[in-house]
Amino acid sequence: MIVIENGTVLTVDDAGHVYFGGHVVLDGDRIAAAGEGSYPGPVQAGDEVIDAAGMVVLPGLIDLHFHTAVGKGYCDHLPLWESLEQFWYPSIRALDAETAYWAAAASYLESIKCGVTTVNDMYRRLPDLGRAASDIGIRAVLSNDVALDEHNLDTLQDNKDAYDTVHGSGEGRIEVRVGIEWLPLASPGLLRDARALADDLGTGIHVHLNESLTEVENSKERFGQRPTEVAYDAGLLGPDCVAAHCVWLSDTEIALMRETGTHIAHCPSSNAKLGNGIARIPEMLAAGINVGLGHDAAESTNNCDLFEVMKFASLIHRAARVDASLFQAPDVLRMATRNGAAALGHQTGQLAAGAKADVILVDTRNVMFTPLADGNADQLHSHLVFAANGSAVDTTIVDGRILMRGRQLLTMDEPEILRQANAGFARVLDRI
């Protein structure tokens, strides 16, 4: 068992319990207890006791829309379509096994260092990503970049093969879903086949939808319908489907998302950087749609820090709607934890007995959390969302396994990951 004592336990459970000087006990891959005061015990010889004095104990964050990144700081001035054509697609066509493995390890490393315990990663070469996720210890839902054959990306057969070999690996922490790159590289027939494959495998779907105005125009021209209408008619949407971005949803499309129980991954910083616009999240929440948060990709938002995404998610809507009451800190934290877990059907995202033991410790003994009044949960939520960034994360635990402690990665050699990721980027540049 791991016994975490003396911390401020922010459970994000249904009642939103906060325990000052509380405890969290992890037994194997599950949370055995979370509550007030010291753990009444018994603590056995061999149990690990973590003194969390000065720390906030939180459920690990869930990055609901994620791509392993082989590069960043490239084509930073281009809009979405052009950046895809000029860098992203060429780079992911140039991947070899080693490059994919180390790019994934570097991406997951940054997430772990920022307190992310689950990534919903759409990329290529899933067996190599699965090995990286397994070695570093993160929880990963992987899907392929499936597109029509002429685009030379992945096929549904690739995705099925990945499911057969990777799903359930890493002691069950690694899952495979069916991925669809986006509608401009797809067709209604491909979406129907993707739904049939997902149903056949009993797994979920991950798709980019309504990301840019150019995508909406492309869909209207080719299919005479908006992207979500095409996806709805093809049967792609549903409670097992995560649709990323959804920036340009009409009222009808919001209703279709609601009707099908589709989950939305909101990626405000990526949408802003690529000049794609601001999603109508207030309307989606009002309609009862489940919305989680994603960073998207280091190519499009330059880091994997979900703390930054939380802050951005709040500020962008306050600015756009001229309304400071929107997206208050506890609600934003819930989007990055509970909502992401619900979208993936995971028992994570909260510190409650029986939930998966995905836990982070955030150090408050620094200027980001100063001043902080004793026992003030509102101020603590505010600091987490508006003042802190991922560098305040001290410890990251997934499935009861400590991946990072005192900001030191325990599962892999961090300098080696950085060296190999740089080498992989150089190989990709050579090939494109």
Residues that bind Zn ion (CB under 5 A): 296
- Three-state DSSP string of 184-207: HHCCHHHHHHHHHHHHHHCCCEEE
Nearer to Zn ion, 63 or 296 (CB): 296
Quick one: 253 or 296, whose CB is closer to Zn ion? 296
Would you tell me how many other CB atoms lie within 10 Å of the CB of residue 113?
20
Q: How far is the CB of 416 from Zn ion (least distance, A)?
A: 28
Minimum CB separation from Zn ion for residue 66, in Å? 8
Tell me whether residue 218 or residue 328 sits nearer to Zn ion (CB atom): 218
- Tokens standing for residue 240: 């097992």
In sequence order, the 6+-apart residues with CB closer than 8 A to the CB of 312 are: 268, 269, 272
Nearer to Zn ion, 65 or 167 (CB): 65
Name residues whose C-beta falls within 8 Å of residue 365's C-beta, 6 or more positions apart in sequence.
54
Q: Residue 26's closest CA among 394, 407, 411, 361? A: 361
Tell the smallest beta-carbon distance from residue 229 to Zn ion (Å). Answer: 21
Residue whose CB is less far from Zn ion, 26 or 69: 69
| Nearer to Zn ion among residue 68 and residue 219 (C-beta) | 68
Closest by CA position to 21, among listed 372, 374, 392: 374
Residue 272 CB, nearest approach to Zn ion (Å): 14
Radius of gyration of the chain (CA): 21
- Closest-by-Cβ residue to Zn ion is 296
Task: For Zn ion, give the closer residue by CB, 39 or 312.
Answer: 312
* Strand (E) or helix (H) holding 31: strand 30-35
Least distance CB 143 / Zn ion (angstroms): 11
Work out the end-to-end distance of the chain between its first and last CA atoms, rounded to an integer number of angstroms.
Answer: 49
Least distance (Å) between residue 98 CB and Zn ion: 24
Nearest-approach distance from CB 67 to Zn ion, in angstroms: 5
Give the whole-angstrom CA distance, residue 336 versus residue 213: 26
